[in-house]
Chains A and B, each alone.
Chain A
């Protein structure tokens, strides 16, 4: 709902006149009043003078693009560098573990490796920029046939190119270097992951061994406690523990009912 504020009709007419939001008849009345009303004329000149300065308020930033791409049969949002989103889909688990760190490192290396190419992180992914705002790559430097517009670098300045282009060969070279670099980082990450899994398995194996030894020692202790005067069971089990068979020399076996063994915790 619109709020209603009291507005001075004089102010309303001044701004309406400033932006040409008057009928021709109203404008003629306004111009006639300007000639006879000194205060109105002063306001008009101040307003017009201030407005004339605003032409200098320029915005020269590179304009970010927003692109919607269709991937995997469903619609989804992506940045101009939508390939990285697809890459994430393909290697989802890899990225979920910490792949963005690796991808970030790859991007940083790429920045150094590919002169003139800038890879910028955005909310939606990455933006690939080619050339310089001050010295953009111009159409004249490359063969117009077979060129690929990789990105638009707009600086809003008339007289300078607002687009940067790569030749097909340059694009192939850059993309091949990019893939090699990302592959190298993936391999390195997998190697580190394998090492970590191996170390974890060795640690687990050691823990299980230690626990089994402890339980075994506990079992022997309980046997000893059950028949402290009778070393037969212990002496019988010890050779078994050592992989030996002295049963014949130790006499008859105890029946299971004779040995009470407690439950291990």
Chain B
């Protein structure tokens, strides 16, 4: 196995690179991180809902991966493993942000309030969101409103391309539960979009 310059490492599998890293080859780690940094960042970004937190979590995830890669037994599962690390960091960050949000909402007099009354509120939301935000921004917003488990399952399946079985490994639940979370996540997503005046339909 060639352990030389980064160029020759491109041809190696994740598993082969992990072996080299565990032997102390730094270039192998850099090659591996370069291979997955875009995918991992986008996963974290979709989970966190903003770039600032995503960058912090991303740096921390790679740092933890570098520190702990010696304990990874099956190098072929590196991609799932780094997502597992990132997911746990996202959860930690959510807990921290949630705690801060509770304090700041009291200190700053609460968040922006909607008009009272169901009908008016719905109309206000529809007008506001459809006119002022693009679908991309809207999706960014409504997907972060999903429960963490549902958002995790959807993001890992839809955007990261993991199978339900692989997501089961990452999240520690059965594959059928993963599919159930995806289903109910889609239901909730549809409802949230409907509340904002968008009705998802099957393309013709």
Residues of A within 8 A of B (CB): 1-5, 7-8, 11-12, 14-16, 18-19, 21, 45-54, 56-59, 61, 63-70, 75, 77, 122-124, 154, 156
In the complex, the answer to whether A12 meets B176 with C-beta atoms within 8 Å is yes
In the complex, the answer to whether A68 meets B66 with C-beta atoms within 8 Å is yes
In the complex, the answer to whether A8 meets B37 with C-beta atoms within 8 Å is no
Closest 9 CB pairs of A and B: A66-B62, A15-B179, A57-B139, A49-B202, A7-B176, A49-B200, A50-B200, A59-B42, A49-B201
- B183 part of interface (Cβ distance < 8 Å): yes
Which residues of B151-183 are within 8 A (CB) of A? 154, 157-159, 163-164, 168, 172-174, 176-177, 179-180, 182-183
Given contacts A11-B183, A61-B41, 17 further A-B contacts (CB under 8 A): A4-B174, A7-B179, A11-B179, A11-B180, A15-B180, A21-B163, A49-B190, A51-B186, A52-B202, A57-B140, A61-B54, A63-B38, A66-B59, A68-B33, A75-B24, A122-B59, A123-B60
Beta-carbon nearest neighbor of B191 in chain A: A50
In the complex, the answer to whether B182 meets A15 with C-beta atoms within 8 Å is yes
Rounded to whole Å, the gap between the CB of B10 and the closest CB of chain A is 15
- B34 part of interface (Cβ distance < 8 Å): yes
Report the Cα distance A152→B41, complex, angstroms: 14
Residues of B within 8 A of A (CB): 24, 26, 29-30, 33-34, 37-38, 41-42, 45-46, 51, 54-56, 58-60, 62-63, 66, 135-136, 139-140, 143, 154, 157-159, 163-164, 168, 172-174, 176-177, 179-180, 182-183, 186, 189-190, 193, 198, 200-203
Rounded to whole Å, the gap between the CB of B174 and the closest CB of chain A is 5
CB-CB under 8 A from A52, the residues of chain B are 200, 202-203
**Known A-B contacts A21-B164, A50-B189; A70 and B200 likewise in contact (beta carbons under 8 Å):** no
**Known A-B contacts A15-B179, A46-B190; A67 and B33 likewise in contact (beta carbons under 8 Å):** yes
Beta-carbon nearest neighbor of B55 in chain A: A64
Report the Cα distance A6→B80, complex, angstroms: 25
Report the Cα distance A181→B148, complex, angstroms: 47
Rounded to whole Å, the gap between the CB of B66 and the closest CB of chain A is 6
Beta-carbon nearest neighbor of A3 in chain B: B173
In the complex, the answer to whether B66 meets A77 with C-beta atoms within 8 Å is yes
Rounded to whole Å, the gap between the CB of A41 and the closest CB of chain B is 10
In the complex, the answer to whether B168 meets A2 with C-beta atoms within 8 Å is yes
In the complex, the answer to whether B180 meets A56 with C-beta atoms within 8 Å is no
Report the Cα distance A59→B139, complex, angstroms: 11
Beta-carbon nearest neighbor of A54 in chain B: B158
CB-CB under 8 A from A75, the residues of chain B are 24, 26
- Of A2, A67, A77, which one neighbours B174 at CB under 8 angstroms? A2
Rounded to whole Å, the gap between the CB of A176 and the closest CB of chain B is 28
In the complex, the answer to whether A66 meets B37 with C-beta atoms within 8 Å is yes
- Of B26, B46, B55, B136, which one neighbours A70 at CB under 8 angstroms? B26
Report the Cα distance A48→B140, complex, angstroms: 19
Report the Cα distance A64→B59, complex, angstroms: 8
Can you name 26 A-B residue pairings with CB atoms under 8 Å? A2-B168, A3-B172, A4-B174, A4-B177, A7-B179, A8-B180, A11-B183, A15-B182, A48-B202, A50-B193, A50-B200, A52-B203, A53-B200, A54-B158, A56-B135, A56-B136, A59-B42, A61-B41, A61-B54, A63-B37, A64-B59, A65-B33, A66-B58, A66-B59, A68-B66, A156-B38
CB-CB under 8 A from B189, the residues of chain A are 50
CB-CB under 8 A from B56, the residues of chain A are 123
In the complex, the answer to whether B179 meets A12 with C-beta atoms within 8 Å is yes
